[in-house]
Structure formats: structure tokens, C-alpha cells
Amino acid sequence: MHTFSFMFQYIKKHRLQYAAGIFTLFVVDFANLYIPKLTGTITDGLTAHSMDFNGVMKNLLIIFLLGATLAFGRFLWRYFLFGASRSIEKELRNDMFRHLEKMSVEYYNEHKTGDLMTRFTSDLNAVRMAIGPAVICVFDASVMTVMVVFQMMYYVDVKLTLIAVIPMLLILFGELYFGKIAHARYLKRQEAVSDLTDFVQESFSGIRVIKAFVRERAERSAFSKTNRNTMEKNLSIAKLQSVIIPLLDVIIGLSSLAALIYGGYLALTGDITLGRFVAFNQYINMLVWPMLACGDAVNMFSQGFASIRRIRSILEEKPEITDREELEPIERINGSITFSHLTFIHRGHSEPTLKDISLDVPAGTTLAVIGRTGNGKSTLVNLLLHLYDTKPGMLLIDGKDINSIPLKTLRENIAYVPQDNFLFSDTLKSNIAFGAENEDMEAITRATKNACIHENIISFPDGYETIVGERGVTLSGGQKQRSSIARALMKDAPILILDDALSAVDTDTEEHILYNLKKNRAGKTTILIAHRISTIQNADLILVLEDGKAKEIGTHDTLMAENGIYRDMFEKQQLEAAFGE
């Protein structure tokens, strides 16, 4: 889609506001034309003694009314045009956010947060300037110039007008050339700003790691380089402007000087009256703004079009994970899961992460998945949540291919506790009720008691209204884990997935949580992913992953009897626990 076509679909929605704003702007410019003419009339009348006091007052009253019209008109065009550009900015930001929510996990693996944030802020601001103030500048630089030049030729003198206007044509062509150079420089500047934003965001998020490894000086040095790059890109634009803007002033000055010399000569020889000479100089001053506006418009359009390209690149990205056309109308999931020769390769990898896994998990089963780090446990979870695509027939929910189940239905029926236990910068109550339809305090309390976090919460000064800070930094690792478990339990979903969700709690608390899960989730499917065998040994079914393959499947007792990988892991953990004591 062409850049203009892309923006026109938004401008079209606000065409009435734009039409009203441009019409008001035209009225303002048209009213502006008569002020120099009236000034000249008064000057000629007083010079020739042909105008009395009443005549002067009458003309001054007209000038006052024109001034009032200008003031009200300028308010209106700002209201319409600036209002429309702000509305489009809001709509673009909403569309970007809505679109990014649809993007797959892989997209966020490949795109930096700081870069996306820059497009939401700096780039959108540049777009707003291009579709708001720049429109005003273009209108004034074209319509106002035509009207003023015509009035100068008609009311004053044709030759004098040409002498004044010809130098200004140089401005027009010079600014068009400047715009091409500026566009490329603005694009590089925005990329540098994105890198800077991303660096700052990442450094602040990882401040604890930076401090722990005493890397403050190294980070300051790296930041200084990134900051210097941003400064250099900004300076490249400033250098261009430092040449263009003074040159613009010189040309405008030369135009005014030529008009003043030749116009003064015509006034002295009597070819034009003194009043017309005065009016002409006012018209010349009126042309200065359109010429400057032309430069501002080129500047804003250069930034705006560079930013529109960056925004389009987001909106034109296609989500990898979408609902297929052949969807089945499903409202509720029972919870049975079937892996049928499940094989999955991450994008950019040459070897499969999961290899030929086949397993039936009836509804109501507690399935435990265990294996060494990097053997595909979390990938299995991501496939169940349909964060990655699988080939048809490899993963079935209630006997239906997961690709045929609407994403909304699938994810509404799965409660998930991730490894990183992400909490939002909000109250504990809002975090726990995040996936529920409302903040029912009774249900929240029941969930927190089952997750063994209720006692901790009520001991805080603000209780459930405690603000947990960004990513839950004010809580301990165990408290964050249990809060995440409580949030998942609030959904009361047919399928619950706990991805290493008990690693930060002590064994006694773990036992209480597992007991509560068994008691409250009877008849519902629970998937436990863990490294500790103590967490999963009472599961109905245990899947042991090794090199992405299902090496062993069974209960704790049957796997112990096999003397395989599971038993080896169990004995090592028992030995570690004995030495730890």
C-alpha cells in the first residue's frame, strides 16, 4: 500500500473536519487580504486630505471586524485540523496496539521493545505533525501565496510583484530538494532513537543484574556510544537546517529589499501612490509566512513520511497464528489432550525441539512433564496455548485438531502459570483477578488460599490493594509464583498448566499447593512441568523428555521400576537433598 493511500484511509474518516478546517483557513486568508488594502486606502486618504475623521474611523472599524474574524477563524481551524490530527493519532495508536496483540511470540523474539515504543511515541508524533500543522502550512504556502500575489498585481503593480516573487521561486525548488535529503536523515534519526530507547529500557529492566555484576561503568560506556550515535543523527538534521533556514532568510530579505527599492522608486515617480506602496510592503510581509511555512511543511512531511513507513511496517506484518477458516463452533473444552507424532521445529533452527511425541491424556488427568533444561518442556506448553503452529493432526483437544479450535475459545479454557511469573504494575487484587470476568473478592480469597499466598497478602499494610510494582518487583520469587498460581486458579479452567511454577516455594508450601490442586481440580486436566521429582511424583501420568523425545511414559512407580532416566534423576535429587541437609 502506498504511503498516501495508507494515511488517506484515516484522513477519509475525518474528511468533514478537514473540510471545515480548510474552509475556515481559506476565510481567514481571504480576510487577511483586505487589511493592507484598507491601510493603503487610509494612507492615501490622509495624504490627499480626501478622507475625514469619520472615514478613518469607518475603515478602522472594518479592520477591527476583520481582526475579530481572523481571531475566531484561527481558533476554528485549529480546533478542526488539530483535532482531526489528534484523533487520527489516537486511532493509529489503537490500531497498532490491537495489531501487536495479534502478533505471534516469534515476532516479539525478533523485535526489540524499545523500537516498538519509539513507534508508539516519536513516530506517531511525527505523523500527527504531518497530517495537522503541515496541512496548514501547505495550504497557506499555496492558496495564501496565490491570493496575495494576485492582489499585489491587481491593486499595486505587475512589474513590482514579479521582482518580489521571482526570488521566492528559488525557495520553493530549494525546499523540495531539501525534503528529499531530510527524509533519509529523519529515517536514520528515528532508527537511532529506537536503539537508544531499547538500550535504556533493557538497562532499567536489568538493573539488578547490572549491579550484581558491577557493570555500571561498562553500561555507561555502552550508553554513551548509543547516545552519541543518536546525537550525530540529530546533528545531521540540524546541520542541514542550519544551512537551509539562514539561506531562506537571505532570499526573503533580498526579495523584500528589491521590492523596497523598486517600489520606493515607483512611489517617488508617481507610478503608484504612497498608500499602495505601504500596502505592497504589507503584502510582502504576508508572503514571508507562506515561504517559511513551505519550509516547515517540507520538514514535517519529511519526518512524517519517514515515520509512516515505520508504522506501516508494523501494521503490514501478518500474524502467524490466526483462526483458520474451517473453525468448529466450540464454547467449552472438556480437557482431553492427544499428542499424535508431535514434531516441532522453531523458526531458524535446523533440528526439531520436539520429536515424534505420541500420548493420550484423558480429561481429568494430572500429567507431569519432566526433563533436563532445553528438552522442549516449555515448547510443549506453548503449542498447547497455540502460541506456535503445529501441523494438522499432531495436537488434538477433545479429539479436535487444535488448529480448528478458535483461539479465543482455546485460551479461555486454559489457565497458565508461566516460568517468569509476570505481574503487572497494579494491585495484587487486580493481578489475581486478571483473567476473571470481575474482581469477586470471595473468589479471589479462595484462589489465594489454595495458592497459599493469602496469609502473606493480608500481612501487607495495604493487603490486597498492595501495588506490586513493575513486573512484581516488590514481591519475593515465591510470592510472585504463588500470586501467578492464584491468578490461574481464578479462571477455574478445564486445563491448567503450571510451567515450573513451584520452583521458588519450599517443600512444605509445595505440598499444600499440590494437595489443594488435587482436591479442587477433580475431573479437570492439570499439566505440571517441573525439575523436582517431589513436585510430580503423585501425578497420574509422567512424561520424561530427553532430547525432545518422549523417552519414558508412566506413573512414578512404573518409571522407578524401569531403572531408566527417571529413576536416575530421582536418585540424584535424593542424593543432593541428603547432602543439602
Q: What is the pLDDT of residues 503-536, one digit of tens each?
A: 777 888 888 888 888 888 888 899 988 888 888 8
CB 500 within 8 A of CB 506: no
Structure confidence at residue 16 (pLDDT): 92
Residue type, 263: G
Mean pLDDT of 56-77: 83
In which band, very low, low, confident or very high, does the pLDDT at 571 lie, cut at 50, 70 and 90? confident
Q: Which residues of 414-444 are buried (b: 16+ CB within 10 A; e: fewer)?
A: bbbbbbebebeeebbbbbbbbbbeeeeeebb
The 10 Å Cβ neighbour count of residue 412 is: 16
CB 324 within 8 A of CB 389: no
Which residue would you say has higher pLDDT here, 155 or 307? 307
From residue 28, give the alpha-carbon distance in Å to each of 17, 34, 61.
Answer: 16, 11, 17
475/490 Cα distance (integer angstroms): 20
Q: Which range (28-32, 156-160, 573-577) has the least confidence?
A: 156-160
In which band, very low, low, confident or very high, does the pLDDT at 48 lie, cut at 50, 70 and 90? low
Cβ-proximal residues to 129 (8 Å cutoff; 6+ apart), any chain: 85, 300, 303, 304
Structure confidence at residue 316 (pLDDT): 84
pLDDT > 90: percent of the chain: 1
Residue 422 pLDDT exceeds 60: yes
CA 284 to chain centre: 45
In which band, very low, low, confident or very high, does the pLDDT at 157 lie, cut at 50, 70 and 90? low
- CATH number assigned to the domain covering 15-315: 1.20.1560.10
C-alpha cell at 273: 501612490
In which band, very low, low, confident or very high, does the pLDDT at 247 lie, cut at 50, 70 and 90? confident
Structure confidence at residue 472 (pLDDT): 67
In which band, very low, low, confident or very high, does the pLDDT at 327 lie, cut at 50, 70 and 90? low
The 10 Å Cβ neighbour count of residue 174 is: 17
- CATH number assigned to the domain covering 330-413+494-581: 3.40.50.300
Q: Which range (474-478, 484-488, 547-551) has the least confidence?
A: 474-478
Q: Which range (460-469, 520-529, 541-550) has the least confidence?
A: 460-469
Instruction: Quickly name the fold that domain 419-492 has.
Output: Rossmann fold (3.40.50)
Boundaries of every domain in the chain: 15-315, 330-413+494-581, 419-492
Residue 570 pLDDT exceeds 80: yes
DSSP state of 135: H
Residue 282 pLDDT exceeds 80: no
In which band, very low, low, confident or very high, does the pLDDT at 346 lie, cut at 50, 70 and 90? confident
Mean pLDDT of 482-489: 87
Which residue would you say has higher pLDDT here, 3 or 30? 30
The 10 Å Cβ neighbour count of residue 243 is: 10
Structure confidence at residue 399 (pLDDT): 86
517/511 Cα distance (integer angstroms): 10
Residue 360 pLDDT exceeds 80: yes
Structure confidence at residue 176 (pLDDT): 64
From residue 295, give the alpha-carbon distance in Å to each of 77, 141, 174, 253, 346.
Answer: 21, 9, 9, 16, 50
pLDDT > 70: percent of the chain: 87
> How many Cα atoms sit within 13 Å of 59 on the Cβ side?
18
Average pLDDT value for the chain: 80
274/215 Cα distance (integer angstroms): 75
Structure confidence at residue 509 (pLDDT): 85
Report the range out of 141-150, 321-330, 438-447, 471-480 with the highest average pLDDT.
438-447
Mean pLDDT of 28-52: 73
57/132 Cα distance (integer angstroms): 39
Q: Report the predicted TM-score, pTM, of the whole model to 2 decimal places.
A: 0.73
Structure confidence at residue 480 (pLDDT): 85
Angle made by CA atoms 558, 564, 570, in degrees to the nearest 5: 80
Report the range out of 117-126, 295-304, 333-342 with the highest average pLDDT.
333-342
C-alpha cell at 475: 514481591
Between strands 525-530 and 495-499, the pairing is parallel
Report the range out of 155-159, 204-208, 358-362 with the highest average pLDDT.
358-362
Same fold, 330-413+494-581 and 419-492: yes
From residue 482, give the alpha-carbon distance in Å to each of 65, 430, 578.
Answer: 71, 15, 27
